[in-house]
Amino acid sequence: MPPFRLAHQGKTCSDSPRSHARLRAVALVFLLSAALSSCSGIQSALDPAGPEAEDVATLFYVMLVGGAAIWVGVVGTLFYATRVRREPHSERTAGWVILLCGAVGPVFILGALLTYAVWLLPNMRPWTAPGEEGGLRQIEVTGEQFWWRVRYLDASGGVLLETANEIIMPVGERVLFSLNAPDVIHSFWIPSLGGKMDVIPGRINRIALEASKAGVYRGVCAEFCGASHALMAFTVEVLEAEAFDAWLQQRLAADGSSGADGLGLFLRHGCGACHTIAGTQADGKIGPNLTALGARGSIAAGTLPNTQDNIARFIRSPGEIKPGVHMPSFAMLPEGDVETIAAYLKGLE
């Protein structure tokens, strides 16, 4: 490696092995910390909060160890060939090495890893037979461009309540998600709770997930679906059973009819043609349901923190925040009207 010169000192780095070593150590710590930061958090398959996700994480670690063993074997052989013994072996020995290390060994190692992965598969994706899902709580999730329509269903399959970009679920209870899409293919993925499942137009895919730890997690769209694919996330909040029941009752009773000024402007400017707010005349189905919007952790499908300013920003120019969004810009509205509507929406709980 050619030494690079430090201009102000007139020295080369190779003059100082200690500074070289320090530089390497800093780089290593930096790289390791960057890698390790992905091992925890609200959106990490390596920080599981459910039985399926635990199996996914276990599979990852087993494959990692398997891959590391293969890597050590390959690099060890390379080291042996270039550093330990530089003279050639006999052709007969080389033939045996190729047969054992190039064919028989990989067949058994890959066979073992494949068998383990397939053996784990039924646990990672528990099967719910048609007709057996009666006892499970059902949530219908529709992947739209670029947000998630979430409908809680009652025992008979009717819609109990609708929300968007948020899933609240009870801890320790398996929930069956029915996934569909009206436009393009999406993929529903809550890394902390389990594997992903494609959301395909014209088809209902189902995935049953269970959360074993209360907390807040993040779900994402895992299949490229358009310009704002990366801005199509949702919040998953796992509550204790009592807290979940309380949330459900509170959401069923949510009423957006207070805040007359904001509601009046909301309706007058036609927002109700696309959005629903329970307890009001706004009953549009095209866009996300905005009932209790103020209680959500984020707006625009996990894109911005839920503040009054951000709601106003989104109303004025949604396309700047989410390219390709279907909602038109409302920049032509008087500034005061936008602020009043944003304050009203932020106040909805």
Partner 1 sequence: MKRLLPAEVETLWTLFTAPVVWAGHFVICYVAVAIYCEKALVWDVDFDHVRLALGLFTLLALAMIVLSAYLAWRQWGFGSGEPPHSGPTDRDRRRFQGFATLLLSGLSFVAVFYTAIPLIFIAGCHL
The binding site for partner 1 (CB under 8 A) comprises 103, 107, 110-111, 114-115, 118-119, 121-122, 125, 127, 129-130, 206
DSSP state of 172: T
* DSSP codes joined into one string, 232-287: -EEEEEEE-HHHHHHHHHHHHT------HHHHHHHHHTTGGGT-B-TTSS-B--SS
Rounded Cα gap, residues 169 and 173, in angstroms: 8
* Minimal distance, residue 128 CB to partner 1, in Å: 8
* Minimal distance, residue 299 CB to partner 1, in Å: 35
Q: Would residue 165 be called left, alpha or beta, if left means φ above 0 and alpha means ψ between -120 and 50 degrees?
A: left
Determine how many CB atoms are found less than 10 A away from the CB of residue 347.
14
* Minimal distance, residue 119 CB to partner 1, in Å: 5
Choice between 123 and 212, CB closer to partner 1: 123
* Minimal distance, residue 107 CB to partner 1, in Å: 5
Choice between 31 and 104, CB closer to partner 1: 104
Choice between 118 and 260, CB closer to partner 1: 118
* Minimal distance, residue 46 CB to partner 1, in Å: 24
Choice between 115 and 258, CB closer to partner 1: 115
- What residue type is 79 in one-letter code? F
Q: Is the dihedral of CA 120, 125, 130, 133 positive or negative?
A: positive
Residue 154 main-chain phi, psi, to 5 deg: -90, 180
Name residues whose C-beta falls within 8 Å of residue 128's C-beta, 6 or more positions apart in sequence: 136, 176, 206, 208
Choice between 124 and 184, CB closer to partner 1: 124
Query: In terms of C-beta density within 10 A (0-12 exposed, 13-18 middle, 19 or more buried), how is residue 269 classed?
Result: middle
* Minimal distance, residue 118 CB to partner 1, in Å: 5
Choice between 130 and 135, CB closer to partner 1: 130
* Minimal distance, residue 60 CB to partner 1, in Å: 19
Choice between 1 and 118, CB closer to partner 1: 118
